Structure 1
Amino acid sequence: MSVPQLLSPGWHWQDLAAGQELVTHGRTITEYDLMNFITATGMTEVIFTDQTHHGAMPGRVVPGALTYTLMEGLLVQGMLQGTGLALLEISQKLLAPVRVGDTIHALVSINEIVPTSRHGRAVVHSTVSVLNQDGVMVMTYDAKRLLAGRAAV
């Protein structure tokens, strides 16, 4: 009997190349996402909890941290499942507000791959550009991750 093949395995560092671009699926942010996130994190600021609040940004804005974590979730599901070993470094810029009802996705650009001296791993440096449904870049971040390599046969 054969061993079943795993659905949606992550990408090993050998499957990537500097200059390569990848795109995630989209994800619509719901009121439920916002309320669960701010409740779990304690970010119960009125800009997020009061629909009638008239702050500097109109609409039902969400924390930048929620946008970031949703993108990381999409990356885990589509690229890092079982191969992502550690997030080593991140540098982030928030460029435009994200609101409940927005659909976000990311363009991932692989910048550099540096194999380590042990265990067949590599440090993968990428730039993640998060865009909304109108093509507006709302966030960008550079990430350095430790990724597993393919097992030696």
Structure 2
Amino acid sequence: MHDEIPLLGQGLFWQDLDPGQRFRTFRRTITEADLIHFIGVTGQTEVIFIDADYPGAIKGGRPVPSALTYSLIEGILMQTLLQNVGLALLELQQVIKAPVLVGDSVQAVVQITDVRPTSKSGRAVVTQQVTVSNQNAVVVMEYSVKRLLAGRPA
């Protein structure tokens, strides 16, 4: 009915991606509520995450699980770069570089490193390098991810 009207929020088809392209996400501040909800959903009740007065805790704030940081960045990517084109996450290699604390703001730079069309038409395996930094430009996480992406409709 409205196929002639451009769809807002549409991710990029694999044909629109080239090795070397880079994209930057919006920043996202991680709140106490994010931490509490994430712990509740995942059951990651490690004492360092649930006890604000834990001896040996990180100075400067309450740490959050690296899985929360990763999930927030992936959520931003799902709503933008991958919306309606992401078919599968195939492989992930991740390195945690520094802690993230409640109140930190994180954002990512995504670089396309490889685009390989598959034998099944309309799809490609796209490799991305994702670098996550905090508000002080400290790299807190890096990961390489291979995804199966859809192509432009025929």
TM-score (norm 1): 0.95
Are positions 1:65 and 2:67 aligned together?
A: yes
Q: C-alpha distance in 1, partners of 2:133/2:21?
A: 18
Letter in 2 for 1:82: N
Q: C-alpha distance in 1, partners of 2:137/2:150?
A: 32
Letter in 2 for 1:85: L
* Correspondence 1:140-151 to 2 at 5 A: 140-151=142-153
The percent identity for this pair of structures is 56
Runs of 5+ in structure 1 lacking a partner? Answer: none
Runs of 5+ in structure 2 lacking a partner? Answer: none
After superposition, the CA RMSD in angstroms is: 1.2
The match for 1:33 is 34
CA-to-partner distance for each residue in 1:85-124, whole Å, 9 max, x for gaps? 0000000000000000000000001100000011310000
The match for 1:76 is 78
The match for 1:122 is 124
* Correspondence 1:4-153 to 2 at 5 A: 4-58=5-59, 59-152=61-154
Q: C-alpha distance in 2, partners of 1:14/1:120?
A: 9
Match of 1:97, SS state, is coil
Match of 1:106, SS state, is strand
TM-score (norm 2): 0.95
Match of 1:79, SS state, is coil
Deviation at 1:56, TM superposition (A): 5.0
Count of residues paired in the alignment: 152
